[in-house]
């Protein structure tokens, strides 16, 4: 009974999920009876390209109706407190807004990024948990303050499709960026890799330690070269300081060290490794042109598998609705 999709455990047995992904990919239009007369409401508090297109496509593959709601966070401010006289700029209380939106759909998908100003607020998943609590409908994360499971599942599918050994070495490496980015993608990638049958290593400069609940038993290596040696898959991603060692650094950029940028030399340390990134990517900061354009790059197959991961998840939720 899949009622929400935030963490790897929500999808159940991972081998079964990967098997389902293969089946769905081979027969995308075989399950349209499941989605007939079912409506997916996609709510975006933040912009989206890949997630919007791939999730909408997945729902349509399943025969669902889709309603997209772009919420300009600036224009539609929700009151969250009780006992307040609402005479300011907040025109609706979430205790009405969420049950109302859920009236008109069968499944809710929500995107709401970390604000990166208050770690407690972000890591408590304050926004999306209100949807879980008050909507009465299944809720699917389309990137929240701390997780992006549709991406991590698509990445896992991609690794399964391209691995040459039973238990490949997968390295998540921090890379520099000009803006402060959330930790949702590395958090979920770590969580899913820990659950998968891979040799998983995380590497980043000191201070960028991810939250322990996501790192789990993964090996953390501060020397990027040591981490990359023998890697079958190199998963590059920037993230801002998770505030684990020093709460006051939460959301800050601690390093722009360009020696972490993945170039041909970095890839030469690996076991003829495949390059991965969730996109969008800043070339010259995260990765060089030759590596991302090279034949070992998997960035487009990863993006294509976003349709598949979304379809497996929506299919499971629809099956649970029956």
Residues in region 89-148 near a copy of itself by CB under 8 A: 91-93, 95-97, 99-101, 103-105
| Residue 279 assigned ligand-binding role | yes
According to CB under 8 A, which one of 25, 39, 220, 263 is a site residue for a copy of itself? Answer: 39
Question: Judged by CB under 8 A, how many residues of this single chain contact a copy of itself?
Answer: 57
| Residue 285 assigned ligand-binding role | no
Residues in region 171-190 near a copy of itself by CB under 8 A: 178
According to CB under 8 A, which one of 40, 56, 123, 242 is a site residue for a copy of itself? Answer: 56
Nearer to a copy of itself among residue 247 and residue 264 (C-beta):
264
According to CB under 8 A, which one of 82, 164, 212, 322 is a site residue for a copy of itself? Answer: 82
Using the rule CB under 8 A, is 50 a contact of a copy of itself?
yes
DSSP reduced 3-state for 194: helix
C-alpha atoms less than 13 angstroms from C-alpha of 263 in its C-beta half-sphere: 9
| Residue 48 assigned ligand-binding role | yes
Using the rule CB under 8 A, is 320 a contact of a copy of itself?
no
Residues in region 204-263 near a copy of itself by CB under 8 A: none
DSSP reduced 3-state for 125: coil
Measured distance CA(73)–CA(78) in Å, rounded: 9
The string of DSSP letters for 209-275 reads: PPPHHHHTT-EEES-HHHHHTT-SEEEEE------SS-GGGTT------GGGSB-HHHHHTSSSPEE
Measured distance CA(292)–CA(299) in Å, rounded: 7
Only one of the segments 8-16, 84-92, 144-152, 218-226 lies at the binding site for a copy of itself (rule: CB under 8 A); that segment is 84-92
Residues in region 269-308 near a copy of itself by CB under 8 A: 279-285, 289, 292-293, 299-300, 303-304, 306-307
Q: Which two tokens stand for residue 169?
A: 């070495």
DSSP reduced 3-state for 206: coil
Using the rule CB under 8 A, is 79 a contact of a copy of itself?
yes
According to CB under 8 A, which one of 74, 83, 164, 322 is a site residue for a copy of itself? Answer: 83
C-alpha distance from residue 210 to each of 81, 138, 224, 240, 251 (Å): 31, 28, 16, 10, 12
Nearer to a copy of itself among residue 230 and residue 301 (C-beta):
301
According to CB under 8 A, which one of 13, 15, 33, 86 is a site residue for a copy of itself? Answer: 86
Minimum CB distance to a copy of itself, residue 165 (Å) = 27
Annotated binding site for carbamoyl phosphate: 48-51, 76, 111, 148-151, 278-279, 306
Binding interface with a copy of itself (CB under 8 A): 28-29, 37, 39, 41, 47, 49-50, 52-54, 56-57, 60-61, 65, 67, 69, 75-76, 79, 82-88, 91-93, 95-97, 99-101, 103-105, 178, 279-285, 289, 292-293, 299-300, 303-304, 306-307
Annotated binding site: 48-51, 76, 111, 143, 148-151, 177, 237, 278-279, 282, 306
């Amino acid at each position: 009974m899949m009622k929400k999709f935030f963490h790897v455990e929500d999808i159940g047995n991972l081998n079964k999920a990967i098997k389902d992904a293969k089946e769905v990919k081979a027969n995308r239009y075989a399950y349209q009876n499941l989605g007939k007369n079912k409506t997916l409401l996609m709510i975006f508090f933040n912009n989206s390209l890949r997630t919007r297109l791939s999730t909408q496509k997945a729902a349509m593959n399943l025969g669902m109706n889709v309603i997209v709601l772009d919420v300009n966070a600036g224009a539609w401010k929700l009151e969250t407190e009780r006992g307040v006289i609402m005479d300011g700029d907040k025109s609706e209380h979430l205790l009405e807004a969420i049950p109302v939106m859920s009236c008109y759909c069968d499944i809710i998908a929500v995107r709401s990024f970390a604000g990166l100003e208050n770690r407690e607020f972000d890591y408590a998943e304050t926004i999306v948990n209100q949807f879980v609590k008050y909507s009465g409908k299944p809720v699917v994360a389309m990137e929240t303050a701390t997780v992006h499971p549709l991406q991590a599942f698509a990445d896992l599918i991609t690794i399964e499709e391209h691995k040459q050994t039973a238990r490949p070495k997968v390295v998540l490496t921090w890379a520099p960026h000009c803006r402060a980015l959330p930790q949702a993608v590395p958090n979920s990638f770590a969580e899913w890799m820990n659950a998968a049958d891979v040799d998983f290593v995380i590497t980043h400069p000191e201070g960028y330690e991810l939250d322990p609940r996501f790192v789990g038993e993964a090996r953390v290596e501060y020397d990027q070269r040591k981490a990359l040696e023998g890697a079958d898959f190199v998963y590059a991603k920037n993230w801002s300081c998770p505030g684990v060692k020093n709460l006051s650094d939460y959301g800050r950029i601690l390093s722009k060290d360009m020696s972490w940028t993945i170039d041909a030399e970095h890839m030469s340390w690996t076991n003829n490794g495949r390059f991965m990134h969730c996109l969008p990517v800043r070339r010259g900061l995260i990765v060089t042109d030759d590596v991302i354009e090279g034949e070992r790059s998997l960035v487009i197959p990863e993006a294509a598998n976003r349709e598949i991961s979304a379809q497996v998840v929506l299919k499971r939720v629809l099956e649970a609705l029956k």
